Amino acid sequence: MHKICDKTLIKHSSPSPLYRLPKWKRALDIVCCLAVLPLLALCTLLMTILTKMVSPGPVFFRQERIGFQGRRFQIYKFRTMTVSADTNIHQNYYKDLIQTNAPMLKLDSRGDKRLIPGGWLLRAAGFDELPQMINVLRGEMSIVGPRPCIPSEYEQYLPAQRERSNAMPGLTGLWQVSGKNRTTFDEMIRLDIHYSRNVSLGLDLKIMFSTIPALLIQIIETRLRRKPATQSSSAILARAASVNNSSTR
Which range among 10-19, 94-103, 168-177 shows the weakest confidence by mean pLDDT? 10-19
**Cα four-point dihedral sign 140, 33, 107, 114:** positive
Which amino acid type is present at position 78?
Answer: F
Assess if residue 1 is contained within a domain.
Answer: no
pLDDT at 196: 93
Asked if the model's pLDDT at residue 131 lies above 90, the reply is yes
How confident is residue 11, by pLDDT bands cut at 50, 70 and 90? very low
Cβ-proximal residues to 17 (8 Å cutoff; 6+ apart), any chain? none
Taking the C-alpha atoms of residue 29 and residue 34, their distance in angstroms, rounded to an integer, is 9
Number of domains present in the structure of the chain:
1
What is the average pLDDT value for the chain, to the nearest integer? 82
Asked if the model's pLDDT at residue 10 lies above 70, the reply is no
Beta bridge partners of 144: 172
Asked if the model's pLDDT at residue 3 lies above 60, the reply is no
Assess if residue 2 is contained within a domain.
Answer: no
Assess if residue 67 is contained within a domain.
Answer: yes
244: Cα separation from own chain's centroid: 22
Beta bridge partners of 72: 66
3-state secondary structure the chain: CCCCCCHHHHHHCCCCCCCCCCHHHHHHHHHHHHHHHHHHHHHHHHHHHHHHHHCCCCCEEEEEEECHHHCEEEEEEECCECCCCCHHHHHHHHHHHHHHCCCCCCHHHHCCCCECCCHHHHHHCCHHHHHHHHHHHCCCCEEECCCCCCHHHHCCCCCCHHHHHHCCCEEECCCCCCCHHHCCHHHHHHHHHHHHHCCCHHHHHHHHHHHHHHHHHHHHHHHHHHCCCCCCHHHHHHHHHHHHHHHCC
Domain residues for the domain of 72 are 7-241
How confident is residue 19, by pLDDT bands cut at 50, 70 and 90? low
pLDDT at 15: 41
Average pLDDT over residues 160-169: 94
Asked if the model's pLDDT at residue 226 lies above 80, the reply is no
pLDDT at 54: 86
How confident is residue 114, by pLDDT bands cut at 50, 70 and 90? confident
220: Cα separation from own chain's centroid: 18
How confident is residue 175, by pLDDT bands cut at 50, 70 and 90? very high
Nearest partner of 190 among 207, 203, 173, judged by Cα: 173
